[in-house]
A and B are shown apart, each in its own frame.
Chain A
Amino acid sequence: MTAVLQLEDVVKSYAGHPPVHALDGVSLTVKKGELVGIVGPSGSGKSTLLHIIGTLDRPTSGTVTIGGHVVSTMSDRRLSAARSSLIGFVFQQFHLVPSMTALDNVATGLLYTGADLTERRFRAFEALQRVGLAHRITHLPTELSGGERQRVAIARALVNKPAIILADEPTGNLDSRTGQQIMSLFHDLHAQGATILVITHDRELAEELPRQVHIRDGKLESDSAMEEVA
């Protein structure tokens, strides 16, 4: 299996007295088709890790490779292009545009690829079908339940056929039952071959995932994949 994501000795520090090392030498490899939980308490550096994997931020040192592209040294413009084609984001707060229907919210995931509206909507419909919301395409976010909103957001992350999906506390704003449904959707997508990283502080939730990476104080504490090897 080829590596979809590769972090080599990634350091992210913020200037100050003393300087804060949010990430302190993290190395991580995620292969194509993996479903990985990145677990850590708040302040552990997992948000910084998410930003760096998501190319929203650049590491202070070290290299990040996604889908064969070294993204850690790219210009802002190139990073934008990388985000539009390589990465799909799922956020705790869903981040749906309130004035747009479910279909158009999902189609927004393709807005910056230059595809025309017809193609964007067609592929958005396909993505909504995959998350089981084909019957809700004309609804506004306010007319959807929390679980449905998060599924719309997942469809938006899927729509550009990304190399990797990054989900940041995807069940954080949902009750436990709905959270379970969202997690089983991730399992389904995983079964279909998607590469997914779920960032969470919830150890229980992470334990259901095939691979767990624990992070604390900006360092990898444990990686279930490495333990197996060991």
Chain B
Amino acid sequence: MSAVVVHDEAQSNDAAQSDDGAQPVDLGRSRVRLADLAAVAASAMGSRRMRTLLSALGVTIGIASMVAVLGLSESSRADLQTQIEKLGTNLLTLQAGSGFGAGDATLPVDVTSAIARIGPIENVTGVVTLSDTVLRNTEVNADATGGVQAVAADLNLLDTLNSSVADGAWLNEATSDYPAVVLGSTAAERLGVTTAADGQQILIGGKRFTVVGILNPFPLAADLDRSAIIGTQAAADYLGADLSPSTVYVTTVPAFVEDVRSVLGATADPENPEEVEVTRPSDALEAQNAANNAFTALFLGLGAVALLVGGVGIANVMIMGVVERRAEIGLRRALGATRGHIRDQFLIESLMLAGLGGVAGVGLGSLATFAYATTQGWNTVIPAIALAGGLGGALIIGAIAGLYPAMRAAALSPTEALRS
């Protein structure tokens, strides 16, 4: 048995190497498996654990903050979206515009029945704003209304606005004819009414009205929260009110919102259609949604800066590694590694370092999103693009950070590297 056998059996007969074609034994070429390079890189990282963890931490923080920002904004948007959907994006509001010299304009008395004749309408309900003051009792100063206004409403108000009763009952055919009042949530608070059970009375326009119900907040009509609501018949009988609605709420068949919207003004007031203001309350929430996006962009930018700093950290650690591991680089060249193999080894190490940070960052960011969303009562929504982008971003940073150190390592001449 001899040690001096030129190792020929495992070499490929690489015909491309024609310059040495006349040689007795083909040298083949130096090659190494990718998995082996990865194992070498992993082992190098494993032998410097603290440094590995700290340098990956920078990328982790960057990726985690970006994933969390995207996750949180997406979760809150999804929540707002469900809220909007629950409220209905098919709600339209009509108000008499305060046109030129029109004073406190009102809509025609028969506006609701006119609108009800439009085809794709689900519900229509009118609210009459009354000028009568609302007071807690006779003892208080007549100016101390606390901002509570009196309104007269149709019986289908709650159905149309998707609201509900918190305590007591909503008006019905009977109570709407009598001096009974249902308070909006804010109104009840300001008037000091906590329950509808003990028949408490308040003054509207100097007349006593018995509180029969307290409502939950209206999601899309905050005005009504500050209102004391009575039946239209009662308003006419006890307060002598003019029953021209100041506001009309319309819900449409969802697919026809825009169609209905376009004809609503003319239907409500054929003579002065331009005096009718038609709005869609859900638009306000959509606008809130859009405003959130502005903050998302800002925080994303901050996350990107953190990621960049993380990349600089990795580049720094890799350059230190190249200097410290000169002897190892020399040894590997002596064992047959090409410049390319050395470059790949360091590049893979940098990629693994950043990848490690990326995986940890995506995990941490998702966790943070989940934790915050849970405290807010939202469903956790993390967009796939944030996960993929987080990992991809980390790898790109790793590649950029590792490129220069890897090139430096590869450029080291074997004799120079071994002379340490």
Task: Enumerate chain A interface residues (CB-CB to B < 8 A).
Answer: 4, 32-33, 51, 54, 56-57, 67-70, 74, 76-78, 80-87, 89, 91, 93, 95, 97-100, 108-109, 111-117, 156, 158, 160-165, 189, 192-195
Contact = CB atoms under 8 A, between A and B. Distances in A.
Nearest to A85: B7
Contact of B30 (A69, A80, A97): A80
Interface stretch (B43-51, B139-147, B185-193, B251-259): B43-51
Interface stretch (B163-171, B210-218, B328-336, B392-400): B328-336
Interface of B is mostly: loop
B4, B6, B27 — most chain A CB neighbours (10 Å): B4
B337 interface: yes
A191 to B, nearest CB: 11
Nearest to A158: B3
Contacts of A99: 43-44, 46-47
21 contacts: A56-B418, A70-B20, A76-B338, A77-B30, A77-B338, A78-B20, A81-B27, A83-B30, A84-B337, A109-B335, A111-B32, A111-B337, A112-B31, A112-B341, A113-B10, A113-B31, A114-B10, A161-B5, A163-B4, A163-B6, A193-B4
Nearest to B12: A114
A54 B334 CA distance: 8
B408 interface: no
A32 to B, nearest CB: 6
A54 B44 CA distance: 26
A33, A95, A164 — most chain B CB neighbours (10 Å): A95
B33, B331, B415 — most chain A CB neighbours (10 Å): B331
B5, B27, B341 — most chain A CB neighbours (10 Å): B27
Contacts of B414: 51, 56-57
B1 interface: yes
A189 B336 contact: no
B24 interface: yes
A85 B32 CA distance: 13
B11 interface: yes
A207 to B, nearest CB: 24
B163 to A, nearest CB: 69
B301 interface: no
B6 A67 contact: yes
Given A80-B30, A99-B47, A115-B10, A161 B3 contact: yes
A97 B24 CA distance: 34
Nearest to B339: A76
B308 interface: no
B335 A84 contact: yes
Contacts of B335: 83-84, 89, 108-109, 111-112, 156
Contact of B3 (A86, A100, A193): A193
A84, A97, A163, A164 — most chain B CB neighbours (10 Å): A84
B108 to A, nearest CB: 88
B25 interface: yes
A69 B24 CA distance: 8
Contacts of B33: 114, 116
Interface of B: 1-7, 10-11, 17, 20, 23-25, 27-33, 36, 40, 43-44, 46-47, 327-328, 330-341, 413-415, 418
A51 B31 contact: no
Given A89-B335, A193-B1, 7 more contacts: A56-B418, A77-B340, A99-B44, A99-B47, A117-B36, A160-B336, A194-B3
Contacts of B332: 108, 111-112
A216 B184 CA distance: 107
A85 B28 contact: yes
A161 B7 contact: yes
Given A68-B24, A97-B328, A194 B4 contact: yes
B336 A84 contact: yes
Nearest to A112: B336
Contacts of B29: 77-78, 80-81
A112 B337 contact: yes
Contacts of B44: 99
Contacts of B43: 97, 99-100
B23, B341, B414 — most chain A CB neighbours (10 Å): B414
Contacts of B337: 80, 84, 111-112
Given A84-B336, A86-B6, A113-B336, A93 B30 contact: no
A86 B2 contact: no
A56 B339 CA distance: 12
A164 B339 CA distance: 23
Contacts of A56: 333-334, 413-415, 418
A156 B29 CA distance: 19
B29 to A, nearest CB: 5
Contacts of A160: 7, 336
Contacts of A93: 327
Given A116-B33, A163-B4, A78 B336 contact: no
B341 A69 contact: no
Given A54-B334, A56-B334, A67 B3 contact: no
A54, A113, A117 — most chain B CB neighbours (10 Å): A113
Contacts of B6: 67, 85-86, 161, 163
Contacts of A111: 32, 36, 40, 332, 335-337
B327 A33 contact: no
